[in-house]
Amino acid sequence: MEQLHESAARAAEPRQTAAGPRTGRPLRLADEGTGERWRFGFPGRARAEVHTRGARLHSLILPDRWGRTADVVLGARGPDACEGSARYFGATVGRYANRIAGGRLVVDGVTHRLATQETGHTLHGGPDGFDQRVWRCEPFHSAHRTGVRLFLHSPDGDQGFPGALNVRVTYTLDRDDNLALSYQAVADAPTIVNLTNHAYWNLEGEGRGNVLAHHLQVAAPLYTPVDAELIPDGPHRPVSDTPFDLRRTRRLSDVLTHTDAQLALAGGGFDHNWVLDGARRARPRKAAVLYAPASGRRMDVLTTEPGIQVYTAQGLTGDITGKGGRPYHAYAGVALETQHFPDSPNRPEYPTVLLRTGELYRSTTIHSFTTVTA
């Protein structure tokens, strides 16, 4: 099976020093027993930390319109940072992001029974998905880009999925405060792949209240309705005249207070897929914009994926203590998960997620950060 080898140029990459972000070169922090944490970023610009357990975005430090910095990514504090209801915070989820109904998968006429959660469905790759694995990490650095590459081998039969899979996820920060997440995968037998990042964003800063005052725009004419178990229910629906119409920027508090059966099914918020244009693109195009008026921070999301799952974290109950010592309550953040559609393997009308032997899976999402001065 093809390996996701790096270029021989890696041998010429700078050696790690204690300078870390002061020079832009990635710095490995202390081993925490469940993996490593790496810090990278250019002097005076955005600074990121990535943890190898779950290949997760642990933090992202950004300035506001006055130059004051804050961590805008939610993350749990202490030994439970990757456990329980915090397990998906910032993680790379797979082998299949989102839900597969009943844990049933058919590939080339062969039925595979996947590991399921207590719902009876497979969510984000199963109870022991990629978010729970410790990935191998290698740093890289150049004059204009810095970051880390993470590698994982998923064997044949992992969580019931057919075929062995080699995966690479690359986090890259450039000097313009663009955070790019690039995914590649190859398999030794036909399988399905759908990878995404599950960061929860609060552009005022993690632990600083909820995101209901944030403004959100999603460039999609359709969304995917769900049933009571959050499985796709019927064909995609137009967003027109619904709270799901985010084609122009709207404040979250304005749309989430609507009386709408779909919002109620999701527990009083969004946990839905928006259909961008129904096809994977070769190059990223704009999918969403998130803006926090109080701080002036703005995040543009560009992706090659055909859909984006918006989850407004209405399920958080205060049982998770964040990195800053404050509990996370409902709407403490919003996840913008670029991906293929939920339950695609059982929906032939959806874009395919099948990866055949010898093919290369590719996906790219860019988070572009700016500040609005007024």
Report, as residue numbers or ranges, the catalytic residues: 198, 337
Q: Is 332 left (phi over 0), alpha (psi -120 to 50) or beta?
A: alpha
| Integer CA distances (angstroms), 296 to 205, 293, 299, 369, in order | 12, 5, 10, 10
DSSP 112: E
DSSP 354: E
From the list 222, 286, 288, 290, the residue with the least C-alpha distance to 251 is 290
Judged by DSSP in three states, 262 sits in helix
Buried b (16+ CB within 10 A) or exposed e, 33-46: eebbbbbbbbeebb
The half-sphere exposure of 332 on its side-chain side, counting CA atoms within 13 A, is 26
The half-sphere exposure of 204 on its side-chain side, counting CA atoms within 13 A, is 16
DSSP 89: T
Is the preceding omega at residue 95 within 30 degrees of 0, hence cis? yes
CA angle 254/257/261 to nearest 5° reads 130
Alpha-carbon span 329 to 327, nearest angstrom = 6
The continuous run of DSSP H or E covering 289 comes out as strand 285-291
Which residue type occupies 127? P
Alpha-carbon span 14 to 19, nearest angstrom = 12
